Amino acid sequence: MKDTWSDRKRRSIMNLRVNCKEDTTFLSSKESSDVVHTGELIFNYVLAVIEEVGSENVVQVVTNNASNNMAAAKMLKEKMPSIFWTSCATHTINLMLEGIGKLPRLKKTLDSTKSLTIFIYAHHTTLALMRKFTKKRDIVRLGVTRFASTFLTLQSILEKKYRLRAMFTSFDWDKCKWSKSVKGKATYSVLSTVFWNGVNYCLRVFAHLTKLVASTKLGSCCILLNKLFD
């Protein structure tokens, strides 16, 4: 697995792990804060690991679809044509979900939901009020990807439909200073049948692809072996 992320000190870290039918294991990591993540850099890093474990043991390299990874894939194909370089299924499906989410009918509902959750969590008074009506249950849920989190949050909001409606028609909400703000008034969309129909529609559209993302086992990227090396 070739993956890149930043730690709390904003250092850029590249790491590799390997996967086979026996197990998955971490192999190496490399700080790359002071270099540009070019295709050549990634290729050399992956190539060194392949040579370490033995090219005869390697079946496939999996990464996301970033252009630098695809450039590295082309280099590897030229040097080791017997090894496949494949785009990560999770990343690909997530891009599909993001693309579908930009369709006007879906985007309107997603934008409204995002505005609602940001507004509630932005102020301790609105957050406390929401938790009072939902019996201390949050509406934001985290998934394996950003879009999976969006799907789970939509599910959570739908589950709390009547509690949220009760909140925004309550005396407590009327007393809240944020209810008079522009963003506060926009939250009255939860009283609209159109909004809830939109939430239901989004969930039906995204359901199968989101389940597919959750079922993928390799995460973002990996090197596949035909056996564990000694």
**What are 5-15's pLDDT values in tens digits?**
566 677 788 88
CA angle 201, 205, 211 (to 5 degrees): 130
Q: Are residues 181 and 127 in the same domain?
A: yes
Tokens representing 120 are: 């509630």
List pLDDT tens digits, range 163-190.
999 999 999 999 999 999 999 988 888 9
> pLDDT-derived band of residue 65, with 50, 70 and 90 as boundaries?
confident
Q: Which two tokens stand for residue 122?
A: 């932005």
Burial of 210: CB neighbours in 10 Å, binned 0-12, 13-18, 19+: buried
Query: Is pLDDT at 197 greater than 50 in this prediction?
Result: yes
- Among 60, 87, 114, which residue terminates a domain? 87
Residue percentage of the chain with pLDDT more than 90: 45
Same domain for 69 and 162: no
Model confidence over 139-160: pLDDT tens digits? 988 766 777 888 999 999 999 9
pLDDT tens, 11-51? 788 888 888 777 778 888 888 788 888 899 989 989 988 88
Look at residue 7 in the predicted model and tell me its pLDDT: 62
pLDDT of residue 80: 92
Query: Is 50 in the same domain as 125?
Result: no
Q: Are residues 124 and 202 in the same domain?
A: yes
Q: Do 127 and 208 share a domain, yes or no?
A: yes
* 57-75: average pLDDT: 88
Residue 37 belongs to some domain of the structure: yes
Q: Are residues 80 and 130 in the same domain?
A: no
How much is the pLDDT for 226?
A: 54
Q: Are residues 99 and 192 in the same domain?
A: yes
**pLDDT for the residue 10:** 72
For residue range 86-108, what is the model confidence (pLDDT) as tens digits? 888 888 888 888 899 999 999 99
Examine residue 221 and state whether it is found in any structural domain, yes or no. no
Residue 223 belongs to some domain of the structure: no
Angle, helices 146-159 vs 89-101, to 10°: value is 60
Confidence of residue 58 (pLDDT cuts 50, 70, 90): confident
Is residue 220 domain-resident?
no
Strand partners, 4: 14
Please tell me whether residues 83 and 101 are part of one structural domain: no
Asked whether residue 134 carries a pLDDT value surpassing 80, the answer given is yes
- Asked, for residue 229, whether it belongs to a domain, the answer is no
| Judgement on whether residues 39 and 108 belong to the same structural domain of the protein | no
Contact assessment for residue 61 and residue 37, using Cβ atoms and an 8 Å cutoff? no
Same domain? 146 vs 197: yes
Structural domain count of the chain: 2
Residue 71 belongs to domain spanning? 2-87
Within this chain, do residues 68 and 8 fall inside the same structural domain, yes or no?
yes
| Single-letter residue type at 121 | Y
Candidate from 29-38, 53-62, 216-225 with smallest mean pLDDT: 216-225
> Is 8 found in the same domain as 63?
yes
Question: What Cα–Cα distance (Å) separates residue 41 from each residue in 38, 115, 135?
Answer: 5, 40, 51
Alpha-carbon distance of 115 to 119, in angstroms, equals 6
Residue 73: CB atoms within 10 Å? 22
Domain boundary, last residue among 44, 63, 87: 87
Instruction: Please identify, among 34, 64, 87, the residue that sits at the C-terminal boundary of a domain.
Output: 87
